[in-house]
Structure 1
């Protein structure tokens, strides 16, 4: 592993040190001898783990492995349904990786970002320190940073890499760094951020690449996040940083690596693609359009959608780059995409939440000091739960579960029925209503006696349903614990109040389906009870507050989270608000509202309507 001193360097200084160190985890053994002019090397990879130490539940903990025909008992209509397998959890991921390394004396394990951020409570309650410990324990060698690595700001990301404890009041805000006297030493793997620099400089916030030396076989790994990260994270977390173009950044590093004798190059990038739907022929020999199985794209005839962001990147990266490990879209695929010279080049992604990993075998030619491109063979593997749990991962989960219990099990209030993210035709959801009302009711955003009138919540920030029957700590059905509430809103965003004119509010609403959000699917902002609007297609209709039309020239007090306030999710008008005032955490407002409104019953979905 890279030494602690080397690990803490950034930019080209770190690159030189890493190249000199020649460090690598080699299949659990550094003593195996290389054989002949070529050597076989294994590369294991995954992405978008998001702190899922415990096996994820629901659809987040399943992968599509097959399809079947089902008949509706009432109508007799025959349709195709997914056959799924439960998958994921660090205890199983670690075991599968260890098993995959057997028989492969030369093995490296890498990731394509979003290891942390938007994490379940067990990891997030401790600033994702448990996840970094888990990644160390499963012998991760290197990872690109993703957009969610910036959720708590780039300085916190640097702490994830370098170690150290936060003075956060020992759980005062439902988070506790280094609990119970623990120490946090940071990542034993290389966190890479080639395209993230301090504004006005060429200095990267973390090393841009690392060189792994396996018995003289040098492989360079360039790590990057998507250049659009500033539009999907909190503005304050990336203030003072510049995110550079992915293709230009990687291509500029190719000669830098070659100058150090590195011809074998792999890009780890937090940007990805979306598989097209699968056409499946059932036992009746009829075609059905279905969700693709985890291994359908591209090995079994599947393909990536033409508008997949990874495709122009893959087609633009220097032909000297031998392979691309991608992420961000949470999709599974293993595809050959031609490089600028028309050569096939492997591009992979292993879904998310530790449900899959990609197993790649490749041949390294010692004479050319390069990867034999035609030798690269990759396949996604299911992290099934029918294997023994890894003891080291179990200990991490057990230890932190005990430390988290006092925070996690506190009952906030009750719900009378399930409260879900499912939207009406206009995109309004029960949970969206609840969260927007909670934001509006929060006293922490009141300033100068001015209370907000309109609340906006981004739908992507609502991460789970509240389920009446769920009782993880033995509480009564309907009781909502802090952990359940946190799982709904896991970002620890701050609430912010600000002024917008009526015209700006209308412009904000049109940005749900225009500008950078055009063609990506509507991002329907959730709103509070007194505010409503209609739309048809991409045309905004009536907009009212307390039953009265919004006045373009009038100023309205708005409340939202700091992610949206900074223009996140491509809502630039929000960033133009004036008289900005920061309040408390969004999870606290949600918790307080649940307590005050218990038992909570969702109302009719009448705030957002399609005209």
Structure 2
């Protein structure tokens, strides 16, 4: 099925090309009329970076250690146009994390990253992998971004948001019932010759209640076999992987042998000809031997629109196979010494004007300022307000526990849309059924050797903490309402995605399968304030502490 041509070396491209304005137009080694040249342009970890990133985040480190200012959507637009004009055939892909759920950029946050999706549509993206950031807001929001429609958190636009005009790819992403939530692959034709693009999300990303990430290698093989059934021989893998490379010297150096992406690139089926990954800010470029010893490209563009990964495929028109010995790849730095794309600049101004108007829209009032500062018990006024809002949004639940890391700033008495998004980080909510014993374990896991993480409780939940007790024995008299918690009874507890993250240190809830909510914490807070204005900020003590 795959001939010896796959065991030839890949053409190396000097990092000098990535620093210069642009590389020369693509050409194969010893080209013949039987060659088809297809340029694959890829962005990754764009992170809603409509404006140029600032500080160190706005630079790319070169092989000699110097830094170049890079990034910004308008500059990406200019370089995409120039890179496309160099090639007769091309397509534009994204390796995921197009959005940043809790971006400090007000335009992106307030408009629920619709401008980013619209911009990718404007750039004619052909397909995107599903990244962790796409999953962070929950599956309902991923589907809305894919299919379009109004967001419950703000008035509907006229015309409504249309959604992505490109497919989100996730060959290994299953929903709560085991159903597929994204297309596994897409096929694009060039002069009648098909090129398949597979999308996979690394299992390192799995931190959600609403989805399961299946084995990457099995999913890649299954998709590749399906593509081959459809007559596709040229295949590219989009792989979202959050692992950071240990030691790349520059954007076209490797140093990524420690990453899951590198391991997958060395083990994935030989049917895949090139792997393009994202999941962090650092760019790299490697050649990795496949299971049969044939080298193939593994490339990672810089995040925040600071580089574009360029992979030039050479395809045999007769067989449809990629000639790997004629593949070249490099990271093109998105320098700011080019003229920014004026149409992108105008697009961003329009989005900023829309966000500014929404930011000033009044939601309601609080009876007092809701502060982020914690009392000695670990509770904060804003934390309790958020928990009460989540309880209001889930009347079927017994109580709420929310991660304090969601809180960023105080919430003033007169509350606007902009205030809510500035004060808290958005996180999807879920309902989990815990026995009383599991709930008590969850409460005990707040207390740690290094630094306690006190979850913010709703009004229904109370308990006492013994400051002098040993870890694992600090919590006493936990109650739901006036009733002591029974170890054998089952309670419905609302939690957020931060608590569900395996890296959070909270494990008691992992013995159950949470039910996805269609709400997030910002939606819940806005609705709670709108429905109950002026809202009392909880002054009650839900956690009490004792010492011997």
Shift of 1:223: 1.5
| Equivalence for 1:72 | none
Q: TM-score, normalised by structure 1?
A: 0.64
Matches within 5 A, 1:266-281: 266-276=236-246, 278=247
Give the distance between the partners of 2:426 and 2:168, measured in 1 at CA: 21
Deviation at 1:497, TM superposition (A): 9.4
C-alpha change, 1:332 and 1:401, in structure 2 (3 Å) is: same
Residue 97 of structure 1 deviates from its aligned partner by: 1.4
1:353 match: 304
TM-score, with structure 2 as normaliser: 0.70
Q: What displacement does 1:348 show? A: 1.8
Within 1, Cα distance between the matches of 2:176 and 2:153?
Answer: 33
Residue 59 (structure 2) pairs with residue 63 (structure 1): yes
Within 5 Å, which residues of 2 pair with 1:256-267?
A: 256-267=226-237
CA deviation after TM superposition for structure 1 residue 134, in Å: 0.4
Q: Does 2:323 align with 1:379? A: no
Change (3 A) 1:37 1:443: closer
1:91-142 deviation per Cα after TM superposition (whole angstroms, max 9, x unaligned): 2222221122232222211111222351544234334332221001112111
**8 A Cα contact 2:174 2:213, kept in partner:** yes
Tell me the C-alpha RMSD between the 2 structures: 5.3
Q: Kindly indicate whether the alpha-carbon contact (under 8 Å) linking 2:115 and 2:351 is maintained by their aligned counterparts in 1.
A: yes
Secondary structure in 2 aligned to 1:130? helix
Gaps of 5+ in 1: 1-33, 69-81, 279-291, 421-430, 468-475, 515-521, 598-606
CA contact (8 A) 2:397 2:492 kept: no
Q: For residue 543 of structure 1, what is the aligned residue in structure 2?
A: 474
What is the count of residue pairs matched by the alignment? 491
Whether the aligned pair in 2 keeps the contact of 1:503 and 1:551 (CA below 8 Å) is no
SS at match of 2:133: helix
Partner of 2:17: none
Between the aligned partners of 1:579 and 1:232, the Cα distance in structure 2 is: 12
Q: In the aligned structure 2, how far is the partner of 1:247 from the partner of 1:450?
A: 39
Q: CA deviation at 1:149?
A: 2.6
Q: The residue matched to 1:252 in structure 2 has which SS?
A: helix
> Does the 8 A contact of 1:439 with 1:455 survive in 2?
no
| Equivalent position SS for 1:380 | strand
User: In structure 1, what is the equivalent of residue 101 of structure 2?
Assistant: 118
Task: For 2:234 and 2:514, locate their aligned partners in 1 and report how far apart those are by CA, in whole Å.
Answer: 53
CA distance in 2, matches of 1:105, 1:432: 61
Offset of residue 344 of structure 1: 1.9
Answer yes or no: is 1:207 the counterpart of 2:183: yes
Asked if structure 1 preserves the Cα contact closer than 8 Å seen for 2:276 and 2:299, the reply is yes
Whether 1:93 aligns to 2:24 is no
User: 2:480 — aligned with what?
Assistant: none
The match for 1:295 among 230, 251, 261 is 251
Instruction: Give the Cα separation in 1 of the matches to 2:89 and 2:346.
Output: 28
CA separation in 2, counterparts of 1:448 and 1:155? Answer: 20
Residue matched to 1:233: 208
2:123 and 2:110 map into 1 onto residues whose CA distance is 21
Higher deviation after alignment, 327-336 or 115-124: 115-124
Structure showing greater relative contact order (alpha-carbon pairs closer than 8 Å, 6 or more residues apart): 2
Partner of 1:322: 273
User: Take 1:126 and 1:207, find their aligned partners in 2: how far apart are those partners?
Assistant: 26
Matched, 1:147 2:132: yes
Number of the residue aligned with 1:15: none
Q: Distance in 1 between matches of 2:323 and 2:230?
A: 19
1:457 aligns with 2:403: yes
Change (3 A) 1:258 1:95: same
Q: Provide closer, same or farther for how the CA distance between residues 524 and 354 of structure 1 changes in structure 2, counting only shifts above 3 A.
A: farther
Mapped partners of 1:564, 1:439: distance in 2:
14
Shift in Å at residue 513 of structure 1?
A: 9.7
**Could you tell me which of 150, 163, 175 is aligned with 2:154?**
175
The reply on whether 1:397 has 2:393 as its aligned counterpart is no
Over 3 Å counting, the alpha-carbon distance change for 1:128 and 1:523 in structure 2 is: farther
How far did 1:525 drift? Answer: 4.1
CA distance in 1, matches of 2:218, 2:515: 36
> Does 1:38 pair with 2:38?
no
> Does residue 304 of structure 1 match 2:257?
yes
1:497–1:582 CA contact under 8 A, matched in 2: no
